[in-house]
Structure 1
Amino acid sequence: MSEQTTSTAAKVGNVVVWILQIVLAVQFVMNGWALFGDDFVKKFDDIGFGQWFRYFTGVLEIGAAIGLLIPRICGLAALGLAGIMTGAALTELFLVTNGGLDDAMMPIIFVVWSLVIAVYRREQIFGALKLVTGKK
């Protein structure tokens, strides 16, 4: 593969991942905002953590969605969303009444999308970790 072909493929990959980040950010702003409504009260009652956890989750989702749009932290935001959605999938599978694989499927898809972004943005993640730890 020539250097020009590799460069073009990298640019196309970057554009595709940015589109995925934007779509995921919009989705998580909507999801996070929905958690402030009454639609999820029963589900969070079933979980048993209390309604404060519903608000907390909404704030985390909206914050991570914004983080997806900031180049320096988009990889970390994607990792955060993967963690949040892993928790959501496990909750749907094991804790929620009438939950199951059908209800867990969307969180699982979001985990995969988030991990694709995190892997593609791994240099930002490593850079942030180096900044925090002070290592070069």
Structure 2
Amino acid sequence: MTAPIPILFSDDDLHPFIGEQVGIGVNRTVYRHNGRDDVVIKVQNRLPCRANFTEWLLWNQMHGQPALRALFARVWGLSDSGRYLVMERLLSLDERPLPPFPAFVIDRKRENYGLSVDGLIKCLDYGDISLSDTLVKADLI
């Protein structure tokens, strides 16, 4: 049985679970989770923790939209500082073409996508988005 992951947690609570480094980007380093093979821990390397906050916020805003959520790696939790994000671990993407993704996903490098254990192609790096089109089309109430 796998241990549950809290939605919000302190930075100190997460340190023992940071495992082997599996990726690095401009702003974040990605690590295996010690104790769970199905998640990774993304560590923001510099402030502000914009990418982690964006992924956490976007994932939570998609609540109740299963078709949209199916396109993105699940966010399990965020540390209180935003420095640590716990996310669904995806496998390396094969040669299949990418399916259509929402226009707000602007960083469309192939390495930003992976395969879920169910074989679905999902976006694993959606911390860099553009909401300009969405905001322009937003209804006024």
Query: Normalized against structure 2, the TM-score is what?
Result: 0.25
Q: Which has the larger radius of gyration?
A: 1
TM-score by length of 1: 0.26
